[in-house]
Structure 1
């Protein structure tokens, strides 16, 4: 006879040796179906919205060369560098620009000299005019006395008119000279600005994200920027969320993030988009990353926005059933009798389901196979921990045999 058969025989003899009432109770317990159960217990419940997107600068700064047609002779920054406003990022070849500035300065100097000459001409013309007007006055006095011929009087008048015209012309000449000087000054300012623009600097503090230029490349004002920067080095997550959940998210909600290449990080909702993309039916949220250190721009990110967190009465999610018209659980009494109890279900967090009404803490409910039982059925409840211990014990006994 095998050991297992011997054990079974001993168990049968033990049962037969019991009083009649005890035998009935033991036999009934053996015949009852065993079901896995759990107790309703309070637990923390978390309501969250799943989001996904990419990391992006909060404020991107694009740096283009302001002049074109000149080669890069130095590039002083690379992707990943942290720079301050005013730091030199690149330089262009300046020989032609320096020559243009020198020429503009010479022309400005010549224009200023012309202004001085025009002013001198005005002074000379004014002196001539005063002299001719004095001569005309004396000629008029002599003519009135009959001591000057009409011809001489006409000549004096003509000389005075010529002096007035010369003075007016000299004044106009000053206006022309001053206009030329202004043009020359503007040309010099432009030449100086072009020379200054040959030195490309950072416009703000920040992090260099990308550099597109190379030494010897001819600069152009169109196309891709020479540098892309994140102002102040701030990188955040721009995530998308389904439109039905967008209204549940508020600024300041905490976010559990997972960023490719970085790992887990904590975040906070900084901005919720007021609009939804009509094609994708998705809205966007901007999430500030709080504790991840250096974050690469453009990395994939996903996470959960925590929109509610509270304590509530819970049971395992598999214990909550529905027949289409009612949500219920199967509660097991102390005598093992099954009772169908309507409940109001709340949040689902992981494997736990909130029960808003219908149960009390400590109530025992059936975990699985609830559809096979109904009111009044009797079962033998087994808690998961006890079931695990029984299975472990049985496995150990089998190994001993």
Structure 2
């Protein structure tokens, strides 16, 4: 009787175990069937509207709008240098002096020649004129007396003719003296030429004093006392006190989104906590064929007091802004063709290939201007292993804004606010 009871209990337990195993198997099969009917689980995003700012990020350098290169127009030896790098100069300030003994001698020679003309040659000519006029008057009187005596037959004809000839000679001499004196009056051509020679000699002498022609800051100097300088050699470089610019070479791929007037934010590597605004004022008309870059200039107004010439500047040029933009990750876009692309849209649990129109673009995300609405679900991978109309299950994910900001350290990023 006891053995029969034990056998019956073991049989019941075995049946219960088999039933439990069968239930587990049936449950697993049912769960797998349900999951298969629901489709594979794929990562996706829920489309939302958010602010989007597209910037071009690059590095440039501070540069003056123009720089003046100062040299010596004459050959000479520097005897004194009066400025150094960093000095602020005004027009007319003396930068250096040259030894000019020969030019000083030329000035003195020209001045002596002018003084001789004014103080010696002119008075002598006037005295000669007075003497000639006196001789002419005497000759006229002698000729008149000879004529009168000849009429009374008191003298011979030959004596009268000699008197008339003497009058003619005296008249010619007086006219010659008058012309000479007239040529030496104040302002005559000879005096004007002498004054011009003095002015020319002084101008040459003035060139030995090298002066600043513009207001600005001395950037470089290539002149020391004792140096022999010649025309064509740059002695000083002066940055004009005009608007300050930031010169930025950009990859030519950025030309499509750049425009004059775009705002920019600049950060100096030396003063990272003191950003300052700028504006795109110029885009070069040509591309550097060696580097594949195009130069742009940013006008800085007002100019921060800490800026220095050739200082390294990080620049963020704002090329586009949307306050409520539909943004999707670039990985979700496939079959790109110009401003159009395709992505997987999930609607009612099924995947549908949807064509969308693109707006602002970046390294991480791109704006969609048509083809999507806020609240739509899309697959994160444009190459997901699904076909048109397949059932899928979306595993929600979100794009890290920090990742987008990291990408803005390179050129042509789209940065999310």
Report the TM-score, using the length of structure 2 for normalisation: 0.72
In structure 2, runs of 5+ residues without a counterpart are: 1-19, 401-417
Distance change (3 Å), C-alpha of 1:43 and 1:188: same
Task: Tell me the distance in 1 between the aligned counterparts of 2:369 and 2:180.
Answer: 96
Task: Tell me the distance in 2 between the aligned counterparts of 1:242 and 1:129.
Answer: 94
Task: Tell me the distance in 1 between the aligned counterparts of 2:259 and 2:399.
Answer: 44
Distance change (3 Å), C-alpha of 1:31 and 1:344: closer
Task: Tell me the distance in 1 between the aligned counterparts of 2:138 and 2:286.
Answer: 83
1:330 aligned to 2:341? no
1:340 aligned to 2:353? yes
RMSD (CA atoms): 4.0
Describe how 1:126-137 pairs up with structure 2 within 5 A.
Answer: 126-137=133-144
Task: Tell me the distance in 1 between the aligned counterparts of 2:226 and 2:150.
Answer: 84
For the 8 Å contact 2:37–2:391, the answer to whether it is kept is no
1:356 aligned to 2:356? no
Distance change (3 Å), C-alpha of 1:338 and 1:276: closer
1:76 aligned to 2:82? yes
Q: Which residue does 1:254 correspond to in 2?
A: 263
Describe how 1:1-400 pairs up with structure 2 within 5 A.
Answer: 24=31, 28=35, 33-46=40-53, 55-69=62-76, 71-113=77-119, 114-144=121-151, 146-174=153-181, 175=183, 181-222=191-232, 224-232=233-241, 234-239=243-248, 249-256=258-265, 266-273=277-284, 284-290=295-301, 291=303, 293=305, 295=307, 297=309, 303=315, 305-311=317-323, 312-322=325-335, 327-333=341-347, 335-368=348-381, 370-384=383-397
Q: How far has the Cα of 1:205 moved from its partner?
A: 0.5
In structure 1, runs of 5+ residues without a counterpart are: 1-12, 388-401
- How many residues get paired? 366
Distance change (3 Å), C-alpha of 1:354 and 1:323: closer
Task: Tell me the distance in 1 between the aligned counterparts of 2:376 and 2:69.
Answer: 63
Task: Tell me the distance in 1 between the aligned counterparts of 2:319 and 2:154.
Answer: 114
Q: Deviations over 1:242-301 (max 9, x none)?
A: 778658654322345577767776432323455667898876544323455555555677
Q: Which residue does 1:390 correspond to in 2?
A: none
Q: How far has the Cα of 1:198 moved from its partner?
A: 2.6
